[in-house]
Structures are given as structure tokens and as C-alpha cells.
Amino acid sequence: MLSELRERVDSALEPLARALARAGFTPNSLTYIGLIFSVAAGLLFAIREPRFAGVALLVCGFFDAIDGAVARVSRKETPFGGVLDSVVDRYTEAAIFVGIVYWGIHGGMPELRGWGWLVGVLALVGSFMVSYTRARAEAAGSGKLDVGIAERGERLLILGVGALLNQTGYAVVLVAILAFLTAAHRLVAAHRRLG
């Protein structure tokens, strides 16, 4: 869904991306900064500070968007940069959900009545399957497979806003459901394209 807005977002971020490139920031350095904020978000969830975790998540999402914009405006897009970005994205999600699972194991998210850890695990698995399904289908020749209602940007946004509103449990449930639906949607789309 948000990928459809990517061109508009990229053009809005272009002046900032140029400024960051002139200041000496590389796309890879911005990717690593985003990773640091995701680890901070995971730690904040683990110590029961969901609102601060929500802020860290939204900052992480900003760096996730700006690193690609800086790569484009500075003409530093490379195959390795794309691989690094994808790998760091998986570590980012793992850090966030490990913090959420830890919080759930220790009684967090009372709205889930002790099931927060399981919902966190399901959200992590679903999120990884969204990415894996796309990567595997594209490697098999499906073409760009960015279909689905809950790509990474949407999942981070749901978690960030849910945490800011102190509704993390419900946000994690929503992410888990939407992630599995998105993975299934991609699998169906891959079947249609690949036969």
C-alpha cells in the first residue's frame, strides 16, 4: 500500500536526501542508524516503555525511507547496498519483535491476557514470510512482487502508532494477521505469474 506512495514520498524527501548526501552521509550509514533505532525500540519494549519504543520505531522508519532516497540522489545505488538494506531490514524486525516477545513473556500487553509472547512470535514469523515470499518468487522469475496490504512500512507504522497510543498488543495482533495475509497474497500472485 505505502509502496504506491513511494514516488511522492521520495520526491518530498529529495531535498533532505540531498542535504544529507552533501553532509557526507552514505546510504549504508543511514541504514545502520535505522538499525540502531530498531534495537533501541526493541529494548524499550522489553523494559515496558511502549510510547518511547513507538517514537524509536517511527524514527527507524524514517531512516528506512531516507537511505534509499540518499542512494538515488547521490547516485550510489549498488547491488550490495540493496542486499545490505534487505538484510538489515530483517535484523530490524527481529530486534523489535524480540523486545515485544520478551515484554509479553514478562506480563506485558495485558489486553492479550498472557498471550503477548505468542502473538509477537507470530508477527515476527509473518513478517519474515512476507519478505521471504517476495525474495523467493522474484528469484524464480516472477518480476517485482511488491503486492499486499502490509509491507514493511505499513507494519512499522502500525506498531509505532499502536505503541504511541499504548495499544501495542492490538497493534501486534493486527501486524500478525496482516503479515500472514500479505504473504498468502504474494504466494497467490507468484502462482499466477509463474504457473
Our answer to whether residue 89 is catalytic in this structure is yes
* Catalytic-role residue among 10, 85, 89, 146: 89
The stretches of the chain forming alpha helices (DSSP H) are: 6-22, 27-46, 50-73, 79-105, 116-139, 152-164, 168-194
Residue type, 195: G
Rounded to whole angstroms, the Cα distance separating 106 from 128 reads 24
Rounded to whole angstroms, the Cα distance separating 157 from 53 reads 12
Catalytic center residues: 89
